[in-house]
Structure 1
Amino acid sequence: MANRDQPVNGKRSSLSLLKTGDLVLTDAAQFNVWSTGTLSPNPLELHLFDTANLVLRDQSNRTSVLWQSFDFPTDTLLPGQILTRFTKLVSSRSEGNYSSGFYKLFFDNDNVFRLLYEGPQVSSVYWPDPWLVSNNVGSGNGRSTYNSSRVAVLDEYGQFRASDHFSFKTIDYGLLLQRRLTLDHDGNVRAYSRKNGQENWSISGQFKSQPCFIHGICGPNSICSYEPVSGRKCACLEGYSWIDSQDWTLGCKPNFQPTCDNKTEYRFISYDEVDFYGYDYGSSFENFTYKQCESLCLELCECMGFQYTFAAENGHFWCYPKTQLLNGHRSPGFTGQIFLRLPKTSAQEVNHMQNNDGLVCSRNAEKLLERPYVKGKENGSVKFMLWFAVGLGGFEVVCIFMVWCLLFRSSNHLVSADQQGYVLAAATGFRRYTYSELKQATKGFSEEIGRGAGGVVYKGVLSDNRVAAIKKLHEFADQGESEFLTEMSIIARLNHMNLIGMWGYCVEGKHRMLVYEYMENGSLANNLPSNALDWNKRYNIAVGMAKGLAYLHEECLEWILHCDIKPQNILLDSDYQPKVADFGLSKPLNRNNLNNSSFSRIRGTRGYMAPEWVFNLQITSKVDVYSYGIVVLEMISGRSPMTGVQVTELGAESHNERLATWVREKRKKAAEGACWVEQIVDPTLGSDYDMKQMEILATVALECVEEEKDVRPSMSQVVERLQSHDS
């Protein structure tokens, strides 16, 4: 679908292939709303193949494809159409509204095929099941993070395969039918089949067998239940009512005013076999009695209720205070209970859930678009004179306004420039871009080169012909402009050869974007499985990473913790020199405040996170030291930080222990006088490495991953030790 979020008017719209080679969609014969952005001096043709691929190609050389629709999927894949790391499926908003919805199917930076709910307020991954460890997604599913191709395709016989080893067959597999794979508006991916000539499609398979386990399907403060006969239903919790009875995804609002005055008396209402996934306060509380759990919830202002569950494997009760009631679903056989916190004065004390008789189920009714260009018949001469007069008057007003703005700006130049960041641009070259500039630079954000929890990165070419990486931030979309500009001014003052070069930013409406230099060789994560990194490059990468982190921790004016050091955030330039990326996404801290509590949630990536996060201890720069040590051990051994599985192309070897534990055991068991690092070195290096450097680097890495943070060295100490032994 071209321009799906702002569709054409419907009157006098046209698709034109221009002599310049550009395919253009024009709205109401007035505005270009979409184009392929292609240019060619040769005659072109637009060809629709039987595969349903629309291809713009050279007439003289028909194998030369300038543009094809298969490269730009919307919510559907057809047989033979490949989903890559640069493309994704985005659901429709509803059954009759084809604009972008809340669900996305894509490959993440860990090479895993995922489904993401990206709602108006929160976002979360719900497939594969989020409780599976990200670095061990394959538990029971055969999924693997160790691939670099990131491709998925549906064949004509009904088998869908992804490069992370996910495989899926339709119930009619083997028959030659018309097929499609669609990410539907309800967040489920379904395969559809039909025989040639038939009108209706039939469902031949789906990714999620339990529709209530799809995040966001019923909205906050509601419970999803599913019956095979009647289908899915949503119901508000007691004390809550629908925000919009025609749209279940918006959820429910409280019928009472939440307070934190310590005077309101509360009661708890229980729901059996109901689970609300995620949004626990802090972490779980093991071996709590019901009264302890209830008291804990009452003490917390933000606690909306708590999950109370019995674990049969260890005989303990677990308490999960909830700060938000999202992803609620009824699950028959679930042993836990949810206890909803309500004021004693609230009404509706009879039924646990609202009566749904008044719910309007036709919530996906189609809505007609406005047709502003449909006009009645008018006299042509009168119309021309009227528009001429209006245009002349408008031109005069614009001229007067521009002159006034110039005069006003000249008198207030210093204040406005400082407010908008222009003084910063003049002093550092760090400038503010408009959204339209970055949209043009990325050709409508068409070439995706990476994504993560913080946002999506696109490749672009700026107006001065510099190639840039442009990151659209999700996490900071609701941040105020002044606060965002303050943080940008801090980032602009950071300058180190081992930090990614930041060139500017965009803050416009809800858009928050960062512009930084493009790295030709991608990330360390992309290069580790290949043979591109010899020993000298790996050692230089370890030293460069340490220098960049030492600068952030100890040398720059602000004390900045990265909090997410991992191979995906270490980028390599054309000479394989490392540059630490995403360092601007953690708030600067006060060096003098050792009890800083600015971190309201756990940050980082499982496998690289320091124990302080898990045990809710004081967060210092030593969390980055720990993550650095894990990355270095991964570079030395070529093994995953969680399982020790090979990430090289020489095959896999199964290990159950964590990487740091595995390396310590190898050193401990090595014979006296033997070189223990030979037992952990990446087989792709062979014997082509400096034994002394290898032993020093491995020893420093093990010191960095000590469980006790005070025992770990600082990053400046790491740099000093590595450089003193650099040959």
Structure 2
Amino acid sequence: MALPFLFHVLGLLSFSLLAPLLFSSPISPSRSSVLQPGSFLSVENQDDFLISPNGIFTAGFYKVGENAYCFSIWYTKPLSDGSYTAVWMANRDVPVNGKRSKLSLLKTGNLMLTDADQPLPVWTAGIIDSSKSAQLMLNNTGNLFLQNQDNETIWQSFDSPTDTLLPLQPFTKDTTLVSSRSSTSFSQGFYKLFFDNDNVLRLVYNGPKIAGTYWPDPQQTAWVSGRSTWAPRRTAVLDSSGHFVSSDSLFFNTSDAEDVLVRRLTMDVDGNLRAYSLDEIKGVWKVTWQAISDTCQVQGICGENSTCSISPTHGRKCSCLPNHQMINQTDWSYGCAPVFNTTLCGNDEDNYVAFPNYDFYGYDARFVPNTTLDQCKKVCASICNCKGFLFNFDIQGFYSCYAKFKLINGFGTVRNGTMYLKVPKSISLQTNNNMAVQEFSLTCSEKSTIKLDRAYVKNPKNESLKFMKLFTYIFGALEIVCIICFFYKTRNPLKTRRQGYLQTVQGFQRFSYAELKKASDNFSKELGRGGGGIVYKGILPDNRVAAIKVLKEFDNNQGEAELLAEISTLGRINHMNLIDIWGYCVERKHRMLVYEYMENGSLAQNLQTNKLDWAKRFDIAVGTAKGLAYLHEECLEWVLHCDVKPHNILLDSNFSPKVADFGLSKLLDRDVTHKEFTKARGTRGYMAPEWLFLNQPITSKVDVYSYGVVMLEMITGKIRADDQNLGSKGRLDSWVAEKMIAADGKNGWIRDVVDSTVQGKYDTSKMEVVIKLALRCLEEDKDARPTMRQVVDMLLRT
């Protein structure tokens, strides 16, 4: 009887200690301008928010869709249509649920936004844990800030604006304004205001396929545009009277300057920067200044193969070129696609359909001054990716030719120029003075439809039953807590790092070491090995066949860095020619990745067999180029693979290629030309020459070079420089070039170069184009190499 009585006493004692923690929570203040340490704001309480002392601004959970909320700051007073104007959002790209989500002010001074019962926060203020607590306050200027016990501001929303700059809010070199995606989506869009490296305040378009600066006019120098590049610091500010001053000599007064009004400066969804004043009587915002008067001058506003025009009744309007159709019926940024097949290089049978007084700004493949219309047509015909050309009468008194490799930023112009669209002769188009365009109207819902698919089921048991259950098991819970604490303190010294893993790889399945050991039959079926580790075949519990990559252990944590690089890269990409990752394992010293299984192994394993005829090899070359082009230009982050070789090109059951092994990948920021590499990356024989020079910038052209080596290997059947009969320089490209030069214009050299053991027939002229393309990829000068997108285009035209 003594032992049960002892457990009973301990249970009562434990309950008395933990009851305040289990059945109470920090006070959640309503209608206050201050949030105290240990308190929180709940998404479920509609009156749970902060309000500035003057009542102008409110901070709380702002509804952005069905069961989707962002912690935001907005103007307290609604507009005439009942809507509210948000000026700042903490989690604009990751809305939280409408239940159980909250913003908590920790006693350590950090601010944390959690999504329902998810283990990791959606957003934090990034404050290092401190013994000093802090208060969260919203002041009269709309600034939300944390102030510690020493009255120091340790974080403020003014330092991280979203799309709006408020009066007296400093805009610096470390801040940007990024437009919303659309009028119904508050996630980050494609337009940005920022201080460039030359100290000039600029507007830039960073779209799905292209990027470029469009304000001030990129055709003019900063000085001609009235800007100064000589500034001791980069800063700008708008005051409450409508005066804007920037360190690059940009200044303007709004149309209602000198009046003290409620104002804001916003990077709008259409790419224009506008100042607004609130008409409090009518409850509407009035535009009092805008950066660009003609919104058709905003880059990328209508996408590729489309034109922009201004209608007196409907405002800006986008239209597709003739015989083109919209790619995405709800989003013009994707542009239009031709309904006809493009023609090959050097085809003199193309039509050129004239559109007077239209221009497509930028993306010139070639500029030819003082020329004729016939000569301009020949120039365009000689360029493989030429889509058309502008034939323009310049102010110097002669005609100039601008051949275009992309048709973007189309608009009407008063200049004496005519745009000529290149189309196959079989296409019949209208050629009058009015463009035969296809117009589309976009249907946008009044409300955003963001919906988070997490369900919440209330416990059907009554409160008394829950109380008894907690009371009965409280002692056992204490024991479990003690065991867990002991386990993590003794067995998991890398807790912080593993939390980083969880945050990096959330969305992938996490496997235990025991699960993967069982799936791979104790790692008995080896598929291949390389510098980063060994790959085994396995069968997962759901019967999927997988490739399990066991990373090597390194004393300096290179294995862990490789794991993070591969997962963070693959988590951002999705393409049919790139390998899919299913999960990972991080357990003690074990680091593993779980991929989809490729039935036919790697290209390296198949090159010396008779499985790959010429048709399959060509498809592999095209598919690999598409995958790399996606990495370089189309995914959210620009990615360099840095180790393109046959071993990293895997083949499925149909011999379709998928580029794999991103352990050496490198993410590039779209806003800079390159990032510094601390050491050379890749495999000897496939590495571009610029890896050997310290001051050479590393760009996507290093992958183009490696791809060129792979192409020549597929064509010749020779592996890098391993063959001793490769001419004087001992290099595969030099050997092919020597054969071509020695032939003196005759095509007999192609038979000497092409692998005679490969089955299937090939077209000699097409093979010549492919070989020359591979040699272009292997140019010593990186600027002479094509991009991977150009490689895809040229391969598809052969």
Please indicate, yes or no, whether the TM-score normalized by the shorter chain is above 0.5.
yes
Q: Hey, what's the Cα distance between the residues in 1 that align with 2:131 and 2:556?
A: 43
With over 3 angstroms needed to count, the CA separation of the structure-2 counterparts of 1:81 and 1:407, relative to structure 1, is farther
- The answer to whether structure 1 residue 177 and structure 2 residue 307 are counterparts is no
- Asked if the contact 1:561–1:583 (Cα under 8 Å) also holds between the matched residues in 2, the reply is yes
Q: Which moved more, 1:587-596 or 1:335-344?
A: 587-596
Select 2:515's aligned residue among 393, 401, 412.
401
With over 3 angstroms needed to count, the CA separation of the structure-2 counterparts of 1:122 and 1:274, relative to structure 1, is same
Select 2:641's aligned residue among 458, 478, 484.
484
Q: Hey, what's the Cα distance between the residues in 2 that align with 1:130 and 1:36?
A: 36
With over 3 angstroms needed to count, the CA separation of the structure-2 counterparts of 1:557 and 1:406, relative to structure 1, is closer
Select 1:367's aligned residue among 433, 448, 469.
448
Select 2:211's aligned residue among 116, 120, 123.
123
Aligned to 2:411: 329
Select 1:41's aligned residue among 125, 128, 131.
131
Aligned to 1:646: none
- The answer to whether structure 1 residue 186 and structure 2 residue 270 are counterparts is yes
With over 3 angstroms needed to count, the CA separation of the structure-2 counterparts of 1:424 and 1:231, relative to structure 1, is farther
Aligned to 2:94: 6
With over 3 angstroms needed to count, the CA separation of the structure-2 counterparts of 1:65 and 1:406, relative to structure 1, is farther
- The answer to whether structure 1 residue 239 and structure 2 residue 323 are counterparts is yes
- The answer to whether structure 1 residue 81 and structure 2 residue 238 are counterparts is no
Instruction: Trace 1:645-656 onto structure 2 (pairs within 5 A).
Output: none
Q: Hey, what's the Cα distance between the residues in 1 that align with 2:296 and 2:631?
A: 26
Instruction: Trace 1:132-147 onto structure 2 (pairs within 5 A).
Output: 132=220, 136-139=221-224, 141-147=225-231
Q: Please state how far the C-alpha of 1:13 moved relative to its aligned partner.
A: 2.0
The secondary structure found in structure 2 opposite 1:180 is strand
Select 1:162's aligned residue among 246, 249, 259.
246
Aligned to 1:635: none
- Decide which structure has the larger Cα Rg and report it: 2
Instruction: Trace 1:440-519 onto structure 2 (pairs within 5 A).
Output: 476=632, 478=634, 484-486=641-643, 506=665
Aligned to 2:114: 26
The secondary structure found in structure 2 opposite 1:587 is helix
Q: Please state how far the C-alpha of 1:179 moved relative to its aligned partner.
A: 0.9
- Asked if the contact 2:364–2:405 (Cα under 8 Å) also holds between the matched residues in 1, the reply is yes
The secondary structure found in structure 1 opposite 2:186 is coil
Q: Which amino acid in 2 is paired with 1:401?
A: E
- Asked if the contact 1:264–1:343 (Cα under 8 Å) also holds between the matched residues in 2, the reply is no
- Asked if the contact 1:225–1:232 (Cα under 8 Å) also holds between the matched residues in 2, the reply is yes
Q: Please state how far the C-alpha of 1:138 moved relative to its aligned partner.
A: 1.3
Q: Hey, what's the Cα distance between the residues in 1 that align with 2:172 and 2:113?
A: 26
Q: Hey, what's the Cα distance between the residues in 2 that align with 1:481 and 1:94?
A: 24
Q: Which structure 2 residue ranges, 5 or more long, are not aligned?
A: 1-88, 470-508, 536-548, 570-628, 646-662, 710-728, 738-777, 784-798
Give a deviation string over 1:151-170, Cα, whole Å, max 9, x none. 12111211222211111221
Q: Hey, what's the Cα distance between the residues in 1 that align with 2:147 and 2:423?
A: 64
Q: Which amino acid in 1 is paired with 2:145?
A: V
With over 3 angstroms needed to count, the CA separation of the structure-2 counterparts of 1:93 and 1:379, relative to structure 1, is same
Instruction: Trace 1:210-609 onto structure 2 (pairs within 5 A).
Output: 210-260=294-344, 265-281=349-365, 283-313=366-396, 315-331=397-413, 333-349=414-430, 353-354=435-436, 359-363=440-444, 365-375=446-456, 379-380=460-461, 401-404=515-518, 412=526, 414-415=529-530, 417=533, 431-432=561-562, 434=564, 476=632, 478=634, 484-486=641-643, 506=665, 560-561=689-690, 580=695, 582-583=697-698, 587=702
- Asked if the contact 2:244–2:252 (Cα under 8 Å) also holds between the matched residues in 1, the reply is yes
Aligned to 2:24: none
Q: Hey, what's the Cα distance between the residues in 1 that align with 2:268 and 2:197?
A: 24
With over 3 angstroms needed to count, the CA separation of the structure-2 counterparts of 1:621 and 1:354, relative to structure 1, is closer
Q: Hey, what's the Cα distance between the residues in 1 that align with 2:510 and 2:265?
A: 55
Q: Please state how far the C-alpha of 1:190 moved relative to its aligned partner.
A: 0.3
- Asked if the contact 1:560–1:586 (Cα under 8 Å) also holds between the matched residues in 2, the reply is no
With over 3 angstroms needed to count, the CA separation of the structure-2 counterparts of 1:52 and 1:253, relative to structure 1, is same
- Asked if the contact 2:233–2:247 (Cα under 8 Å) also holds between the matched residues in 1, the reply is yes
Q: Please state how far the C-alpha of 1:483 moved relative to its aligned partner.
A: 7.0
Taking structure 2 as the reference length, what is the TM-score of the superposition?
A: 0.54
- Asked if the contact 1:433–1:505 (Cα under 8 Å) also holds between the matched residues in 2, the reply is no
- Asked if the contact 2:638–2:669 (Cα under 8 Å) also holds between the matched residues in 1, the reply is no
Q: CA RMSD in A?
A: 4.7
Q: Which amino acid in 1 is paired with 2:143?
A: N
Q: Please state how far the C-alpha of 1:298 moved relative to its aligned partner.
A: 2.2
The secondary structure found in structure 1 opposite 2:419 is strand
Percentage of pairs with the same residue: 35
Select 2:183's aligned residue among 91, 95, 101.
95
Taking structure 1 as the reference length, what is the TM-score of the superposition?
A: 0.58
Q: Please state how far the C-alpha of 1:476 moved relative to its aligned partner.
A: 3.0
Q: Please state how far the C-alpha of 1:260 moved relative to its aligned partner.
A: 1.6
Give a deviation string over 1:230-251, Cα, whole Å, max 9, x none. 3111111112112233322221
Q: Which amino acid in 1 is paired with 2:351?
A: R
Q: Which structure 1 residue ranges, 5 or more long, are not aligned?
A: 386-394, 440-472, 489-503, 519-547, 566-578, 598-617, 624-727
- Asked if the contact 1:434–1:508 (Cα under 8 Å) also holds between the matched residues in 2, the reply is no
- Asked if the contact 1:477–1:511 (Cα under 8 Å) also holds between the matched residues in 2, the reply is no
Q: Hey, what's the Cα distance between the residues in 1 that align with 2:306 and 2:398?
A: 28
Give a deviation string over 1:112-153, Cα, whole Å, max 9, x none. 211111110111111111112xxx4111x3212222411121
Give a deviation string over 1:154-189, Cα, whole Å, max 9, x none. 112112222111112211111111111100011000
With over 3 angstroms needed to count, the CA separation of the structure-2 counterparts of 1:421 and 1:157, relative to structure 1, is farther
- Asked if the contact 2:690–2:697 (Cα under 8 Å) also holds between the matched residues in 1, the reply is no
- Asked if the contact 2:565–2:664 (Cα under 8 Å) also holds between the matched residues in 1, the reply is no
